[in-house]
Amino acid sequence: MTDRYAVIGNPIEQSKSPLIHTAFAQVTGQDIEYTKVLSPLGAFAQTVDAFRAAGGRGMNVTAPFKLDAFAYATDLAPSAQMAGAVNAMKFEGGKVYAENFDGVGLVRDVVHNLGCPLQGRRVLILGAGGATRGALLPMLAQGPAEVVIVNRTVAKAQELAALARKHQSASVPVRGVGYADLGAQSFDVVFNATSASLSAELPPLSASAFAPGCLAYELAYGKGLTPFLKLAQQAGVTRLADGVGMLAEQAAEAFEWWRGVRPDTAAVIDKLTVPLV
């Protein structure tokens, strides 16, 4: 029997998840159907209940429901707890298992697909919102030399750094600072995890933050050369990436969690890549 999965959000038209999971199912020979579910605002639980009652096995969760899914879950994985948000659910009997694969997907893209180990590197993350929260623990597990979180609202960066220090299993130095505090420090990997790119804005980052040979990574996907990537390019950075690989890798994590088979992501990344120009 065909097993049913879906991505739930509002709006949902833009979601690439059905395309990705359908491609994964084809290459792995899994008999699944993966659709889009538009949930009315304020009716997340009822919409998911109906999907489960109709035999649904699992869901990806996108904006604005990642916190609703957090509240709906019966069993939260540590990744979801740290992120404070859920992006994948698995339904088994009365249980709702919940995960957040964004961070692990990001790290896998950087280390595996882009061939940029984080171990021993100086890492800078711009932003202290949900995207950074999700990325921190998987990043720290790689053993970077240090992680600096820089944010407009400095207190948020400091709080998140303190939380990460408390929860990490390694003992990587983690600091939360403001943009003005960065001075002339430079970093080997710089992630833009702010929502600035969504409104074509530029975080107030100095070009000196990019060390020679640095990787500049924009977590947003499909926006071409964002102001952040442009700044990096103008600073002489040649290794530029956006979140297409992260998108594919978090999907692959969910697919493996649901189906027990890990799909290769290369073809999907190739298909979804928007040139950085």
Residue positions in the annotated binding site?
15-17, 62, 87, 102, 127-131, 151-156, 219, 221, 243, 250
Site for ligand ATR in 172-211 (CB under 6 A): 194-196, 201, 203
**Binder to ligand ATR among 118, 128, 229, 240 (CB under 6 A)?**
128
CB of 187 to ligand ATR, least distance (A): 17
Residue with tokens 């220090």: 165
Using CB under 6 A as the binding rule, whether residue 152 contacts ligand ATR is answered as yes
Which spans in the chain are helix H?
A: 17-28, 44-53, 66-72, 78-83, 102-108, 130-140, 154-167, 227-234, 244-259, 266-272
Angle, to 10 degrees, between the axis of helix 154-167 and the axis of helix 130-140? 30
Interface segment toward ligand ATR; rule CB under 6 A; list 41-49, 150-158, 164-172, 208-216? 150-158
Half-sphere exposure of 167 (CA within 13 A, CB side): 20
**Binder to ligand ATR among 87, 142, 151, 186 (CB under 6 A)?**
151
User: Which residues are known catalytic residues?
Assistant: 66
CB of 55 to ligand ATR, least distance (A): 31
Residues in the chain: 277
Amino acid, res. 241 = A
Q: Binding residues for ligand ATR, per CB under 6 A? A: 127-131, 151-153, 156, 194-196, 201, 203
